[in-house]
Structure 1
Amino acid sequence: MNKPLVGAVFTALLLGATALPAAAVTNEAPTADKQVTRTQPVAETKTKVKAKAVTFAGTVALSNCSGSVVRVPSSQPTDKALVMSNGHCLETGFPGPGQVIVNRASSRSFTLLNASGGNAGTVRASKIAYGTMTDNDVSLYELTSTYRDIESRYGIKALEIDSARPTAGRAITVASGYWKRMYKCNIDGFAYRLKEGLWTWKDSVRYTSACQTIGGTSGSPVIDDQTGKVVALNNTGNEDGQRCTDNNPCEVDENGKVTVRQGINYGQQTYTIVPCVGAGNKIDLNKPGCTLPKPAAAARR
């Protein structure tokens, strides 16, 4: 996983570098990280569509990870807002395989960023609405503020989660609120299964090698440059070339063939979240079309 960070000393040991200036835009990791391997980007189509300007507006910094204030197409201004990050970024620790957390009280705070990466203010959770590391690596926090509250007070609009599955070749930006850095590359393809240690994720997004994400970028929204919508959550990468171990995920295809891609990073798709958001912006795992894992007790019903 693109490790969550805990404490200033651990951060320094992990990265060997200090935090970067606000609004840095780069495709390279700090010099202490492994050397970036360059490849040619996926070929563009002949018809060019003007890309939307991707900024930090709506992204957040957690104590150990990145995230964003998000909405689905049906979200209303008066709904309590949601913050999305990785399941492995939860303050409760890593959920075990098969574990699903729903409606657990939380008072976690998030630093909300403006377009340039500056501190716009602080928003606070009332609960963990959903969290898991099974099939996906996602956490959704319900805030004490509504979308209207956030826009009125801070001038920040939520990022919209795309309801459509992403496609290979699209230009993307991984926007890290923790580091206030953007990583720009393309979707290289998809991993049928991505296995890392105890956890397995489905239909993961593989980036081209320019996105050299690092510890603290976990939970960053992966934004489609053309639409400006969130299509995935940044969560992991193969650091050392090991096979299916912690921090060294491997790809497993439909026939069980394992592929290791050292230095390549991945995200988990988010379009599957949209059908699971019901009236009032509440997570409804029984809603038609929702395929997110359910808590074990509910799954047995």
Structure 2
Amino acid sequence: MKVLRHAALATAILSCAGIATSTTASAQTVPETTAAASDSLAGTIALDNCSASFVRYSQSVGTDHALMLTNGHCYEGGMPGAGEVITDQPSSRTGKLLNAAGDPVGAVAADRLLYSTMTGTDISLYELDATYDEITSDTGIAPLTLADAKPADKTSITVASGYWQRTWHCGINGFVDTLKEADWTMHDSVRYSMPGCDIIGGSSGSPVLDDASGEVVAVNNTINESGEQCTMNNPCEVNADGTTTATEGQGYAQETYWITTCLADDRTLDLSIEGCLLTKP
């Protein structure tokens, strides 16, 4: 996974740094970022070794505890093993929340890791210790919205990295049924068009935004660095007949609507819900 190339401490545990809270809170639907400028970094988060984003569900309300999304391989406890799923664990992960220009406007801190895996997909989802209302009131930043449905092929997209404070622009060039990298296997991965999204280490965990809606449709996670097949930092595509292909410079992301298929009525994750696509423990 690309992050390892640029981060000496992929398993580093960050110290706790809370965000100041506001005395005003409401049960109204939380504000959302809908169609930000193509180079906007508003709502992105810089971690110590990865990128992340400040996200909401379409159903979220202002008094809900806010969420932070990044890759499974960015989990502070180390990369989950093949087949491993981590749920509902205490966390003190922190990051810097950025505005549209990429300037830090406050620190956000997680109190729980809700879900992390590198099997089937590559995501870590954290619950923050402050609500959407509190964070937005304190920083002026509205969360990005997770799309409820699978993105369409050929969608114009932006990868927005809080770690590097930069963006990449390309399109979706189909979906990969099986993507394999070293011991890990992912499914229904987004394939980037080339050139454009020539992502680099540290961009792991960046939100992939639909340029038309501004919604998060995927989370950026890997690129084939040297053309090798199925090795670390060299993901390969496995066809239905078992044959493999690998293209140097080809980048990929993992769809995030999978998360929304596992939501209970109270907006908590429930992996037992019928139709939930996330990998189960």
- TM-score between both structures, scaled by the size of structure 2: 0.87
Shift of 1:103: 0.8
Distance 2:37 2:75 in 1: 30
Structure 2: distance between partners of 1:103 and 1:52: 32
Q: 2:126 aligns with which of 130, 134, 141?
A: 141
What displacement does 1:279 show? 4.2
Q: How far off its partner does 1:293 sit? A: 1.1
2:241 is equivalent to residue 255 of structure 1? yes
> Percent of pairs identical after alignment?
51
Question: Which residue pairs with 2:54 in the alignment?
Answer: 69
**Matched residue SS, 1:281:** coil
Q: How far apart are 1:281 and its partner, in Å?
A: 3.4
* CA root-mean-square deviation: 1.4
Q: Is the CA contact 1:52–1:226 (under 8 Å) kept in the aligned structure 2? A: no
Structure 2 CA distance for aligned equivalents of residues 122 and 7 of structure 1: 22
- Residue identity in the other structure for 2:216: V
Counterpart for residue 232 of structure 2: 246
Q: 1:57 to 1:156 in 2, by over 3 A?
A: same
Aligned to 1:2: 2
- Gap runs ≥5 in structure 2: 10-34
Encode CA deviations 1:4-26: one digit per residue, 9 max, x unaligned. 44359xxxxxxxxxxxxxxxxxx
1:169 to 150, 154, 157: 154
What do the CA deviations read for 1:18-74 (whole angstroms, capped 9, x no partner)? xxxxxxxxxxxxxxxxxxxxxxxxxxxxxxxxx752311111011100010111111
* Segment drifting more, 255-264 vs 281-290: 281-290
- Asked whether the equivalents of residues 7 and 202 of structure 2 are also in contact (C-alpha less than 8 Å), the reply is no
Question: Separation in 1 of the partners of 2:213 and 2:243?
Answer: 34
Pair 1:100-2:85 in alignment? yes
For residue 105 of structure 2, the aligned residue among 120, 139, 146 is 120
Aligned equivalents of 1:149, 1:115: Cα separation in 2: 19
Q: Is the 8 A contact 1:173 1:184 kept in 2?
A: yes
Secondary structure, counterpart of 2:135 in structure 1: helix
Which residue matches 1:84?
69
Alignment gaps of 5+ in structure 1: 9-50, 296-301
Structure 1 residue 294: Cα displacement: 1.5
Would you say 1:213 and 2:204 are equivalent positions? no
Q: How many residue pairs were aligned?
A: 253
* Separation of aligned partners in 2, 1:152 and 1:216: 29
CA distance 1:107–1:279, shift in 2 (3 Å): farther
The question of 1:283 aligning with 2:269 is answered yes
User: What is the DSSP-based 3-state SS (H/G/I as helix, E as strand, rest coil) of the residue aligned with 2:95?
Assistant: strand
Q: What letter corresponds to residue 162 of structure 1 in structure 2?
A: A
Q: How far apart in 1 are the matches of 2:95 and 2:214?
A: 22
- Residue 168 (structure 2) aligned to one of 183, 194, 199: 183
Look up the SS of the partner of 2:254 in the other structure. strand
**TM-score (norm: length of structure 1):** 0.81
